[in-house]
């Protein structure tokens, strides 16, 4: 899917604040965001865009003309100028999302309208090096593009997620989940290997972006997404935006529940993660379920295997304790539980609710909406794709 003739698109470069150019770019982004958020097949008219962005109809018309001239959007005449429907051009370019997990790498290719066109994954050693991981990700990307009859030049930006704290400078701070990435300036190394601009973020942050825009958190201005798999992390959506703090906000897996508890991989004792991760649950049930997957443990719990159910419920109550700390601090309207642990569904949510009631302020614990994620193990790769989309804008004259 090569870019359309005359199409000119680039990664985001920000003009000086307060300039006319800066205002134009900001308005372009508002219009593009409306088009990207439209449901597949939904007709979006210029009047719809004006209502959604609160821009003047004349401003919207001017922006649409500019985007059309750049080959970024297609228009279909309707009843009057404001009735003209608008959509992002199919040939305007592609974006790629890459998600690294403990033992997998998943890659997705999408249109600039936000629709995923192709997706694949591969098992990977948890001890792989950064270079090995990027080589596999590049191979998967190239195969997907080949199947779409597109080349690497049609890719405008790449979003990449890692299950590790990532500093504001793009440095992977620490990770016992992916030790081969520690100390790596991930965005620079990935951009050099993949040959395109790469935006790096923590996998929980990417899951939060995806669930907020496309999943269980839609409609909530303040939402916390908690990913519970091999590790435990959170993505914080505050006033509709992802909150990163100094770069590593959301490491709730290392809240201390018991300073005399088991030693955590981070070096501290009694962290939330040592009581609630999928790794912990599998270790506790190793005698009853040797070499079982977490899905198999959940299945056993559902048919009344008492040990499996007890371990999952205990983990849920501890998660509820951690969620209570978050609720007391941030007062989100929605808590979304994702990652492998979300497979436990209502069994887990009921236990989390107990922990919330015990440890949160009464009004906060009762008001927060508790949900399991709806995007499953695809949340982080979709978030990576959305992150890449956010970094792209048309290069207008």
255-301 pLDDT, tens digit each: 999 999 999 988 999 999 999 999 999 999 999 999 999 999 999 99
Q: What's the pLDDT score for residue 246? A: 84
Q: What's the pLDDT score for residue 304? A: 82
Global pTM reads 0.87
Q: What's the pLDDT score for residue 325? A: 95
> What's the average model confidence in pLDDT over 212-239?
95
Crossing angle, helix 306-330 and helix 345-359, to 10 degrees?
Answer: 50
Q: What is the mean pLDDT of the chain?
A: 89
pLDDT grade for 7, boundaries at 50, 70 and 90: very low
pLDDT grade for 38, boundaries at 50, 70 and 90: confident
Q: What's the pLDDT score for residue 164? A: 87
Least confident of 113-117, 187-191, 316-320, 322-326: 113-117
Query: Which residue shows structure tokens 């001239």?
Result: 69
**In 3D, which of 117, 70, 67 has the Cα closest to residue 95?**
117
Residue 82 in this model has a pLDDT that exceeds 80: no
Do residues 330 and 238 lie in contact, with contact meaning Cβ atoms separated by under 8 Å? yes
pLDDT grade for 29, boundaries at 50, 70 and 90: confident
> What's the average model confidence in pLDDT over 159-168?
90
Q: What's the pLDDT score for residue 110? A: 95
Per DSSP bridges, beta strands 104-111 and 80-88 are unpaired
- By CB atoms closer than 10 A (0-12, 13-18, 19+), residue 241 is exposed
- Domains (range + CATH), the chain: 9-89 (1.10.10.10), 94-206+380-392 (3.30.420.40), 219-374 (3.30.420.40)
Provide the β-strand partners of residue 160: 98, 200
Alpha-carbon gap, residue 321 to 302, rounded angstroms: 24
> What's the average model confidence in pLDDT over 44-67?
93
Residue 137 in this model has a pLDDT that exceeds 80: yes
pLDDT grade for 47, boundaries at 50, 70 and 90: very high
93-116 pLDDT, tens digit each: 999 999 998 889 999 999 998 889
Helix spans in the chain (H): 20-37, 46-53, 57-69, 130-147, 186-194, 203-214, 272-276, 278-284, 294-302, 306-330, 345-359, 362-367, 379-390
Q: What's the pLDDT score for residue 8? A: 41
Alpha-carbon gap, residue 117 to 111, rounded angstroms: 7
Residue 395 in this model has a pLDDT that exceeds 70: no
Residue 161 in this model has a pLDDT that exceeds 90: yes
Sheet holding 104-111: strands in order across? 116-123, 104-111, 94-100, 155-162, 198-202
């Amino acid at each position: 899917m090569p870019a359309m003739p005359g199409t000119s698109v680039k990664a985001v470069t920000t003009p000086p604040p307060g300039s006319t150019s800066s205002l134009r770019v900001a308005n372009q982004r508002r219009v593009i965001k409306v088009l990207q958020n439209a449901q597949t097949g939904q007709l979006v008219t210029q009047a719809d865009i004006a209502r959604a962005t609160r821009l003047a109809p004349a401003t919207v018309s001017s922006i649409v003309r500019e985007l059309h001239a750049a080959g970024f959007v297609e228009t279909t005449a309707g009843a009057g100028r404001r009735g003209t429907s608008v959509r992002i051009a199919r040939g305007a370019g592609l974006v790629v999302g890459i998600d690294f997990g403990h033992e997998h790498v998943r890659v997705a290719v999408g249109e600039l309208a936000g629709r995923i066109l192709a997706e694949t994954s591969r098992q990977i050693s948890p001890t792989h090096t950064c270079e090995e991981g990027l080589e596999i990700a590049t191979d998967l990307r190239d195969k997907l593009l080949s199947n779409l009859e597109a080349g690497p030049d049609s890719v405008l930006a790449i979003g990449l997620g890692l299950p590790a704290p990532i500093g504001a400078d793009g440095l992977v701070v620490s990770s016992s989940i992916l030790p081969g990435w520690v100390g790596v300036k991930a965005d620079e190394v990935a951009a050099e290997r993949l040959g395109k601009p790469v935006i790096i973020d923590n996998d929980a942050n990417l899951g939060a972006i995806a669930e907020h825009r496309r999943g269980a958190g839609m409609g909530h201005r303040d939402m916390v997404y908690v990913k519970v798999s091999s590790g435990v992390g959170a993505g914080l959506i505050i006033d509709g935006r992802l909150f990163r703090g100094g770069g590593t906000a959301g490491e709730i897996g290392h809240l201390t529940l018991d300073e005399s508890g088991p030693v955590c991989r981070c070096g501290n004792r009694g962290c939330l993660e040592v009581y609630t991760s999928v790794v912990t649950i599998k270790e506790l049930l190793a005698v009853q379920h040797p070499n079982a997957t977490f899905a198999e443990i959940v299945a056993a719990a559902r048919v009344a295997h008492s040990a499996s159910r007890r371990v999952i419920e205990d983990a849920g109550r501890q998660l509820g304790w951690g969620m209570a700390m978050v609720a007391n601090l941030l007062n989100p309207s929605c808590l979304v539980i994702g990652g492998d642990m979300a497979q436990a569904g209502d069994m887990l949510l009921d236990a989390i609710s107990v922990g919330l009631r015990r440890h949160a302020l009464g009004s906060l614990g009762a008001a927060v909406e508790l949900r399991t994620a709806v995007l499953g193990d695809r949340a982080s790769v979709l978030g990576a794709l959305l992150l890449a989309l956010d970094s792209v804008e048309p290069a207008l004259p």
